[in-house]
Chains A and B, each alone.
Chain A
């Protein structure tokens, strides 16, 4: 009652007079927080930081940092790659999206895992033999062009920022959940932006101070934390509430909700905002038909458009996995190409097993925690299902619910901390090393560069945090899908064509990558802008909008999208046209500039494709060792 009163006060009073703060703030902060959840989360955060600094202290050179001296066993390395790959999107986002959109969202986990097959078939082996640390390194080495390297760096930043936003959303959601019962300046619950700023600041300072470099041991540990944290609650929940198949069986359309029984528990009624059983369980549900539904198309056309959307999504995810900048680096930690292939095999097994679990959370969430549909994509929305669901065990088994919820919170921290740190390291490296060290001040001293690395880390962290505060109402998984689409339209064509086609020229590669990538960025920004404006405007439902928002609302393209559903689908999921566009540009421009094909192309192709045991392998890195 009291909190409702406070909420209705005008902002100037609700923002708590000074003498009010200590009384509300200090005593309630810990009393209202579940000790198990807090303990598990703090343990993960502290453990990650301590392990990061411990491991960073033991690795001094650039080579140690990037490739761990190349002596890592297949098992460790596979765990480390998996640990780096499983971000907040995999841990929280997939479950949330399966809960909110049903079957269509299953494409995300499946393609996240299966995209690795493409990497294995076409890219992993040759790239490992070529021996460049990063995609910009590869771009420079394959085309002998420092200019091209700089162009490639731009996309490290583009993809990186698109990828950090969902991690920040994960952080904000998790903190808002852990501290949901505290009173923050007279309002209940920790606000979303505060969580983003807190977690973002901790990770940024950690990276800037030199902890948490891409150390194999830390990342491998993170994988097993995540695996344990997602699997244990599922096993307990399924044994209490019935198996995976049973959960899906409960989605039998037409049946009266309150009478469906699973053991002794009655399934709660679905809120009005939830998709119906039939659309949730069947393909071509809310996710893929949104644009067509908004345009009020007839059913057969809607289905055709949904099929198109599905294909574009699949292309984005599969090709995007094969072009993710922060994943490829780890292939060089393998001693040879055969080990690189074995590692990829194990990565597919490890992440494949992991990805079976999040959709189960989604199905369980729909049956046992449907109230989350009301906060559809905000902090109290479906993205929090992995964290919140174990709490339903409290009413039967008391503490067990808290412990399991604490475990999933720990897993969530492991997920967004490892991915955000990894991205921050690679983006900061790109900015400090390529932009500052090679473009702005090529003859800067080593100390200057170290200092610059720290400032760049702070700068990128700040930008990522600011972007993160804006995305409260976007689904985590959806945002990651967008980052994949950009990678699919820029890096994937570059890698794929450079590895297999000897006719590629520098201009062809650069035009294709820039053309495809920038078109994808532009298309995605258009639809994201509309979503952003409409959710912002939604917050002003009961009070007048500020002028800038009213202007944005008037120019938000909403009417255009409603009239042109096909364009909306193609802009929201651009991979279907952007990937072929990039490849076509590469072929056409390369043909036009055919006389600029590097003269040593035969040698380069041999390095990429000849078996290493023949001794042809040129360690590109060794030549450029001073480079880092």
Chain B
């Protein structure tokens, strides 16, 4: 549970830095965020288009790690059960 929670918090932290950092960038560096890239302003491109793939990457990473953790936990428990002397 604690390993899962740590993984969740780690992923949430990356996500929150991006999510809460973007308004702050808009606030502190308005001219930089307003530069044009292919017609878009930088901040529009980041929020309206590129934010979605970022979230997909975080989600895919989390799911892979989370399933790995779960399998590792199952292996540990079954290993303990197979050697009863170690099992309390």
Report which A residues bind B (CB closer than 8 A): 103, 106-107, 109-111, 113-114, 116-118, 120-122, 125, 243-249, 281-284, 303, 307, 310-311, 314, 318, 337-338, 341-342, 344-345, 348-349, 352-353, 355-356, 359, 500, 605, 609-611, 613-614
Report which B residues bind A (CB closer than 8 A): 1, 4-5, 8, 11-12, 15, 19-20, 23-24, 26-27, 30, 33-34, 36-41, 43-44, 47-49, 51-53, 55-56, 58-60, 62-63, 66-67, 70-71, 73-74, 77
- B40: chain A residues within 8 A (beta carbon): 244-245, 248
Cα–Cα, bound, A359→B40 (Å): 13
- A345: chain B residues within 8 A (beta carbon): 56, 59-60, 63
Cα–Cα, bound, A284→B66 (Å): 38
- B58: chain A residues within 8 A (beta carbon): 117
Choice from A243, A248, A314, A356 contacting B52 with Cβ under 8 Å: A356
B67/A356 in contact, CB under 8 A: no
A114/B15 in contact, CB under 8 A: yes
Choice from A117, A243, A282, A610 contacting B39 with Cβ under 8 Å: A243
A609/B4 in contact, CB under 8 A: yes
Cα–Cα, bound, A159→B26 (Å): 32
Choice from B33, B34, B36, B71 contacting A249 with Cβ under 8 Å: B36
- B24: chain A residues within 8 A (beta carbon): 307
Residue of A with least CB distance to B47: A106
A121/B48 in contact, CB under 8 A: no
Take A106-B48, A121-B62 as given contacts and tell me if A283 and B43 are in contact as well, using a CB distance cutoff of 8 Å: yes
Residue of B with least CB distance to A123: B8
Judged by DSSP, the binding face of A is helix
Residue of A with least CB distance to B66: A341
A114/B23 in contact, CB under 8 A: no
CB distance from A542 to the nearest CB of B (A): 41
Choice from B34, B59, B67 contacting A338 with Cβ under 8 Å: B67
- B11: chain A residues within 8 A (beta carbon): 117, 121
A110/B47 in contact, CB under 8 A: yes
Judged by DSSP, the binding face of B is helix
Residue of A with least CB distance to B77: A614
Cα–Cα, bound, A244→B44 (Å): 11
B74/A248 in contact, CB under 8 A: no
- B49: chain A residues within 8 A (beta carbon): 356
Residue of A with least CB distance to B58: A117
Residue of B with least CB distance to A245: B39
- B23: chain A residues within 8 A (beta carbon): 283, 307, 310-311, 314
- B70: chain A residues within 8 A (beta carbon): 337-338, 611, 613
B47/A107 in contact, CB under 8 A: yes
Chain A CB count within 10 A is highest, among B36, B47, B52, B56, for: B52
Cα–Cα, bound, A283→B30 (Å): 8
CB distance from A609 to the nearest CB of B (A): 4
| Closest CB pairs A-B (n = 10) | A245-B39, A249-B39, A352-B52, A283-B26, A609-B1, A245-B38, A121-B8, A611-B70, A310-B23, A341-B63
B15/A117 in contact, CB under 8 A: yes
B73/A611 in contact, CB under 8 A: yes
Cα–Cα, bound, A307→B62 (Å): 30
Take A249-B36, A611-B74 as given contacts and tell me if A114 and B41 are in contact as well, using a CB distance cutoff of 8 Å: no
A118/B12 in contact, CB under 8 A: yes
Take A345-B60, A611-B73 as given contacts and tell me if A121 and B20 are in contact as well, using a CB distance cutoff of 8 Å: no
Choice from B27, B39, B51, B71 contacting A248 with Cβ under 8 Å: B39
B56/A348 in contact, CB under 8 A: yes
B20/A248 in contact, CB under 8 A: no
Cα–Cα, bound, A284→B53 (Å): 24
Cα–Cα, bound, A345→B57 (Å): 10
Cα–Cα, bound, A348→B43 (Å): 22
Residue of B with least CB distance to A282: B34
Take A103-B43, A356-B49 as given contacts and tell me if A307 and B27 are in contact as well, using a CB distance cutoff of 8 Å: yes
Residue of B with least CB distance to A243: B39
CB distance from B66 to the nearest CB of A (A): 6
**A–B complex contacts, Cβ < 8 Å, 7 sampled:** A113-B55, A122-B8, A244-B39, A341-B67, A345-B59, A348-B55, A605-B1
